[in-house]
Structure 1
Amino acid sequence: MLILCSGCWSLMLARPLHAADFVVVVHNDNRSAITQQLLMQLYLKKTAAFADGKAATLLHLPRSSAEHQQFCLELLNLTAHQYQSYWSRLVFTGNASNLQFANANSILQQVQQNPAAIAYLPADTALSGVRQLGFLRNGQWQESPVTH
């Protein structure tokens, strides 16, 4: 017979402590909308362009960061190691270039300067000079309203 304390149920039903929310950002001039499917295709290099046909440059948080590992799990259903192996095969076959990793501040600077850039950042990142496309929460994409 299994006996659970009343507080145990809330622990079992609560969101995992390591779960994170992410915002996806692009350059201020980028007016593309994005779906979860397109976001997945971009990060798996199944497409190299936004919905409007303009090229996309992917930016990543550091490979060893908990945020990168969680993003891979939530969006791609892959561990960070599996994602790196997948990407390495793309590089080896000439279908992609090496992944570039940076911290949140340098990613913000790169997105501000590069109209093709797209990046994910922890939801609590102070955003400036970029446009938020939407956010990923518990593996579900929510698009931000498009502002002109």
Structure 2
Amino acid sequence: MNGTIVLKMLLLVGALNTVSLASTADQLVVVVHKDNPINELTRSQLIDLYMGKYVAFPDGRRAQPIDIDNDSKLKEQFYLELVGMPLNRVNAYWSRVRFSGNARPPIQQGNQQAALQFLATTDSAITYIFASNITDDVKVVYQFDE
């Protein structure tokens, strides 16, 4: 009987570790080009960049935010975690701002790989991806809490 309980506990611990690893791999992170001098951004700074208030990193260098256009689940998760707004409200916000001519929305890329390719050749670019897609060409500057 004790052997069965121990085996069940080991299986449970293994299952929990697998769930933990899977959720870490799907954690949302914000990345920049590996040579970008910025090492960390605050949530407030990200909001300013992604909502068009600022067009530069804190050091004054131009910033080019990238949105993942064809993955609405990822984009929705990003904006919910960043500003607490569903995608339809973010889109409505950008429609108003674009009409006023005061700011430009982030550049659209079709998927995470396209965004990473753009970022690899553009040191001013910044984007969000799942942690499982981090490459040697990028540097994580912000991690969302799980």
Instruction: Give, in angstroms, the shift of residue 21 of structure 1.
Output: 2.2
Secondary structure at the aligned position of 1:60 is classed as strand
TM-score calculated relative to the size of structure 1: 0.74
CA contact (8 A) 2:42 2:142 kept: no
* 1:131 pairs with 2:139: yes
TM-score calculated relative to the size of structure 2: 0.75
Secondary structure at the aligned position of 1:88 is classed as helix
* 1:43 pairs with 2:50: yes
1:13 match: none
2:41 match: 34
Identity of aligned residues (%): 33
Which among 104, 116, 123 is matched to residue 108 of structure 1? 116
CA contact (8 A) 2:51 2:105 kept: no
The list of structure 1 runs, each at least 4 consecutive aligned residues, that deviate by more than 2 angstroms after superposition, is 96-99
CA contact (8 A) 2:34 2:138 kept: yes
Distance 1:43 1:94, change over 3 A: same
> Greater share of helix residues, 1 or 2?
2
Secondary structure at the aligned position of 2:132 is classed as coil
CA contact (8 A) 1:59 1:102 kept: no
Instruction: Tell me which structure has the larger Cα radius of gyration.
Output: 2
Structure 1: runs of 5+ lacking an equivalent: 1-16, 139-148
Instruction: Give, in angstroms, the shift of residue 97 of structure 1.
Output: 2.8
